[in-house]
Amino acid sequence: MSEETIKKIGHLIRTCKYTIAISGAGVSTPSGIPDFRSPNSGLWETYNPFEVASLNAFRHHPEQVYNWLRPLAKLISHAPPNSAHYGLAKLEAAGYLQKIITQNVDSLHQKAGSNNVLEVHGSFRTLTCTSCFKQHDSSEFFSMFIQDGEPPRCRSCQRILKPDAILFGEQLPAQTWLQAVEACRRCDLLIVIGSSLEVIPVAGLPMHAIENGAHLIILNQQETYMDIRADIILREDVAETIPAVVNEVLNGGS
């Protein structure tokens, strides 16, 4: 890891007035949660997302979706935040990070202490009935689901509950998305962390920042289409990079 690059990142964070982060699966993989798109290891190398993780699949075969979801739900329920999550929470607490826009549905940013988190792909914290539309706290259901594999059902009408993580073919939460766009237009520094920027529409968010003159830092092990527009690129494990950046910002590298 280049000490000079860490110093440059720290300087930008200290001097910019409104910094936001976009976080992707690469932030959570050090916590043991697999990503979806990495060659040879991503979940979509093994599963067809339109068969196991689409809105259409849930409407017609919800049990099949839950069969696929069960091992992932177990991983998420037991996964601890890692040093990248805690580092971003420290930057927020110190006033250097105003908002996190995350593609992740595991809520590990919040578990680490971050408060200003926009979950543009939803989360597994809640479940919604597609019949009566009552929303439920998933903690009431998921431990039993993980144990016996039986899909959770609405206590009011007994329909299978849908996780509030966004499925393929489903619209993003409108208000959350509008807040994410506004944050990108407002920021003077955007840090992309652990995201390949391949998933639309989140992949387009950095353009809102760039078009308004913001600086761009990319911390990701793979290339992204925005690399050509970035001020700084660092291809290292974010669980190592973020703590180094936080130390530089808060302590001047001491």
Alpha helix ranges (H) inside the chain: 3-15, 25-28, 49-52, 55-60, 62-78, 83-93, 108-112, 142-148, 174-186, 205-211, 238-251
Q: Dig out the tokens for 55 from the structure.
A: 């809105």
Give the residue numbers annotated as catalytic, written as ranges. 121
Name the β-bridge partners of 233: 218
CB of 76 within 8 A of CB of 123? no
Could you count the other beta carbons within 10 Å of the beta carbon of residue 29? 20
Which residue is it, tokens 């706290």?
A: 137
| Phi, psi for 59 (deg, rounded to 5) | -65, -40
Q: Are 23 and 100 in contact (CB under 8 A)?
A: yes
Would you say 129 and 154 are in contact if contact means Cβ atoms under 8 Å apart? yes
Residue type, 137: D
How far, in Å, CA of 220 to CA of 192, rounded?
8
